[in-house]
Structure 1
Amino acid sequence: MQAWHVHENGEPSEVMRLDQDAARPVPGDGQVLLRVRAANVNFPDALLCRGQYQVRPPLPFTPGVEICGETEDGRRVIATPVLPYGGFAEYAVADAVALLPAPDALDDAEAAALHIGYQTGWFGLHRRAGLQAGETLLVHAAAGGVGSAAVQLGKAAGATVIGVVGGAGKAAVARELGCDVVVDRRAEDVIAAVKEATGGRGADVIYDPVGGAAYAQSAKVVAFEGRIVVVGFASGSIPSPALNHALVKNYSILGLHWGLYNTKDPESVLRCHEQLTELAARGAIKPLVSERVPLEEASAAVQRVADGVTTGRVAVVLEKGAAA
């Protein structure tokens, strides 16, 4: 079979190599073999290549942490593959208990993109931050894969959504996603724009997958009793929040590591997937897949996501009937 392998750590375009004759993985106890139908590209795939992710699989490994696949008995499922047998290959391995049915309302690429980003958004906005209808939600990197999911989930919850983006092209995407207010951080003062849009009150919930300067802005525009949800650090800069500032302004800083729910409370992941499936069925959410590329272009796709030049999700789509 064909599979991308990383033999040393570095930039994805430099260290990912396509093996045309890789051995098909053999699942272990409690695992299943899946034929990959589509694999979504995530920022963690780039971090895995660089050796900077919290999980460091042994070399060589196949990246690709989110797929829509097919079981040997023909079921269409979404899964997070068990490394080192990731999704940028014709076959991957996943834990049987973690398989989720792919929503009928979504095609393979959309289904592959539903899992991590939307689960993270749902847990962050609802379970951690308790977002309520009528509140104001600010989403950093609103046109990206993680941000676009949060925008759609926020609108589905009845919130007013402010999207912060970098560039006119991404601003247009954020408007199409349904943002009520779009702030281009390259052309506008984010703090002033958010305060103007909220009448000086600020945002009730702030969803931050960026860190760095974005977090500093968040602390200045969070409302009284607001909640800042820390999702990740795509900027590469991990902020050190001033806790005295949180004290005097009465706001909460909430961390979210979605992967922990798979081990600490797996039933909640299943319930979340049911909610997401229902939202997809009625058209309230639909993953924004901006690019669909063949397996041969996976390395370049991961590099574009790493460089922050993409919008929505990039999906690697495999033709039906993978080679042995």
Structure 2
Amino acid sequence: MKGWTVTEIGTGPQLCTDLPEPQPGPGEVQLRIEGCGLNFADLLMIEGRYQDTPAPPFVPGMEVCGRVTAQGEGVSAPALGARVAVFGGAGGLAEMGCFPAERCVAVPEKMPSDVAAGFLVAYSTSHVALAHRARLRAGERLVVLGAAGGVGLTAVELGARMGAEVVAVARGAAKLEVARAAGAAHLIDAEVPDLRDRLRALGGADVVYDAVGGTAFEAAFRATNPGGRILVIGFASGDVPQIKANHLLVKNIDAMGVYWGGYLRFAPEVVTDSIAALMAMYERGDIAPHISHVLPLERAPDGLELLRTRRSTGKVVVTP
């Protein structure tokens, strides 16, 4: 089969055309992959900077949609031929892959495979962050940093549907228009020199959703209202901000880390319940996933570069 492999951390993946077809172990299913959703974490993993980076050689690609072609020992579901989405952590940028059966989620018939391939991580990260961690309430002001990115755009969409007044912060008019279409009530270019003042002029932030870090985090933190909550999602800027604990104390602010993959180990029911709720929302037409690029397997590095240079909006999906 064809697939991309990382043979040395930091060197980038290489396309191989003669990889052995993986065989499912106990508790696994083999999938013929129909789509792989790319995530910023894939870049970190390739560079060896992700918290769950496997030892090389490995096939990158954290989440996929595909059809079950074989079952490992002890597996009775999902059935052969079933179309499922799954977060496997790696293994997605190939024609075939093996993934834990217990993580597989049935894909609604009306959901295209490219949508399903990029659905789980972005939507459930935002859903868990906003509903489970921050307990976002209708009428609160939600500031989303990196509002046109893979997770940021889902935060805008879900926040608006939860009744929040969403402030989208993204770079450039085109990205801000994507955020507006997803439900943002206010748009602020990330390049403005006075982000803190702009946020304060709107009344400050009750909840901050930050997948960016750096100076944007610092500005939003200083504009957070007393009793507010800050959701630390990631650091796409490459700059991990330092939080002054005395400011948390004086303003009664909660800083909350959200590592979606961690829930799969210590509280998997949080993710299971979140995905079930999101699939129901999709089937009702309450959410509309945004994919800016669908690329063939051979162009997977182009997709990763789109993420690296922040030239995509929503999701980038690779289809073998």
TM-score range, shorter chain: over 0.9
1:153-232 equivalence runs, <5 A:
153-187=158-192, 189-198=194-203, 202-232=204-234
Task: Tell me, yes or no, if the aligned pair for 1:105 and 1:280 is still in contact at 8 Å.
Answer: no
Unaligned segments of structure 1, at least 5 residues: 319-324
Which of 53, 62, 65 is the matching residue for 2:62? Answer: 65
Percent sequence identity is 39
In the alignment, the residues of structure 2 paired with residue 179 and residue 77 of structure 1 have an alpha-carbon distance, to the nearest angstrom, of 31
Tell me which of 13, 17, 27 is aligned to 1:16. Answer: 13
1:167 alignment partner AA:
G
Partner SS, residue 56 of structure 1: coil
CA distance in 2, matches of 1:275, 1:213: 34
Q: Which residue of 1 aligns with 2:255?
A: 253
- Structure 2 residue runs without a partner (length 5+): 70-79
Aligned match of 1:321: none
| Partner Cα separation in structure 2 for residue 209 and residue 281 of structure 1 | 27
| Counterpart residue identity of residue 269, structure 1 | V
- The more displaced of 278-287 and 90-99 is 278-287
Whole-angstrom distance in 2 between the partners of 1:317 and 1:193:
41
Partner Cα distance (2:139, 2:260) in 1: 25
- Secondary structure at 1:246's aligned position in 2? helix
Whether contact under 8 Å (2:63, 2:89) holds in the other structure is no
Give 1:82 shift: 5.1
Say whether 1:42 aligns with 2:39: yes
One-letter code of the match for 2:147? A
Residue of 126, 130, 153 corresponding to 1:148: 153
1:135 correspondence with 2:140? yes
Q: In structure 2, what is the Cα distance between the partners aligned to 1:274 and 1:204?
A: 27
| Amino acid in structure 2 at the alignment position of 1:158 | G
- 1:147-167 per-residue CA deviation (whole Å, 9 max, x = no partner) reads 001111101111110000011
SS in structure 1 opposite 2:148?
Answer: coil
Alignment partner, residue 305 of structure 1: 307
- C-alpha contact 1:207 1:230 (8 A) present in aligned 2: yes
Question: What is the aligned-residue RMSD (CA, Å)?
Answer: 1.3
Does structure 2 conserve the Cα–Cα contact (< 8 Å) formed by 1:210 and 1:233?
Answer: yes
The one-letter amino acid of 2:127's match is W
2:121 — aligned with what?
116
Distance 1:90 1:167, change over 3 A: same
Q: Please state how far the C-alpha of 1:106 moved relative to its aligned partner.
A: 2.2
Partner of 2:292: 290
Report deviation, 1:234. Answer: 1.0
Counterpart amino acid of 2:6? V
Q: Which amino acid aligns with 1:123?
A: V
Q: Aligned equivalents of 2:217 and 2:291: distance in 1?
A: 27
Equivalences for 1:84-103 in 2 at 5 Å? 86-103=91-108
> Which amino acid is 1:26 matched to?
Q
Distance 1:317 1:205, change over 3 A: same
Aligned-pair distance for 1:178?
Answer: 1.6
Alignment-derived partner of residue 5 in structure 2? 5
- Do the aligned residues in 2 keep the contact of 1:152 with 1:284 (CA within 8 Å)? no
Aligned partner of 2:74 in structure 1 is none
1:74 is aligned, of 58, 66, 81, to 81
State the Cα distance separating 1:259 from its structure 2 match.
1.2
User: Who is 2:76 aligned against?
Assistant: none
TM-score of the superposition, structure 1-length normalised?
Answer: 0.92
Write the letter of the residue equivalent to 1:32. Answer: V
Q: CA deviation at 1:129?
A: 0.3
Consecutive aligned runs of 4 or more in structure 1 exceeding 6 Å deviation: none
Query: Which whole-Å CA distance do the structure 2 matches of 1:117 and 1:19 have between them?
Result: 28
Identify the range of structure 1 (256-265 vs 238-247) with the bigger mean alpha-carbon deviation: 256-265
Say if 1:64 and 1:88, in contact at 8 Å, map to a contact too: yes
